[in-house]
């Protein structure tokens, strides 16, 4: 399996922390030297390991924001 290279360009924030200390984070990440995209996934404390996640471009993030803003959460 080929090595996946990544560079976290911006940490937007963490939305939760598991009992094992992993954070579910939204970050702007460049994968394999490509244009950075927004990425939501679990990360080990020092970003040495990662879980499966979802990668979104800016238009997809805007669409997700609009969907979340329209939800009735009470």
Q: C-alpha 73: how far from its chain's center?
A: 22
**Mean predicted confidence (pLDDT) in 7-22:** 97
Spatial separation of the C-alpha atoms in residues 35 and 57, rounded to whole Å: 10
- What residue ranges do the domains of the chain occupy? 6-69
Q: Which residues are paired to 23 by β-bridges?
A: 17, 43
Residue 43: Cβ within 10 Å count: 21
pLDDT digits (tens, 9 = 90+) for 27-40: 999 999 999 999 99
- What confidence score (pLDDT) does residue 72 get? 93
Q: Does domain 6-69 have CATH number 3.40.640.10?
A: no
Considering the chain, what percentage of its residues have pLDDT values greater than 70? 100
- Return the H-helix or E-strand segment holding 23: strand 23-31
């Amino acid at each position: 399996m080929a090595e996946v290279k990544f560079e976290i360009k911006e940490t937007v924030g963490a939305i939760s922390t598991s009992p094992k200390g992993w954070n579910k984070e939204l970050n702007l990440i460049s994968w394999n030297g490509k244009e950075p995209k927004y990425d939501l996934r679990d990360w080990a404390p020092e970003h040495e390991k990662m879980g499966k996640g979802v990668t979104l471009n800016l238009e997809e993030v805007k669409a997700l924001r609009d969907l979340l803003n329209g939800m009735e959460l009470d």
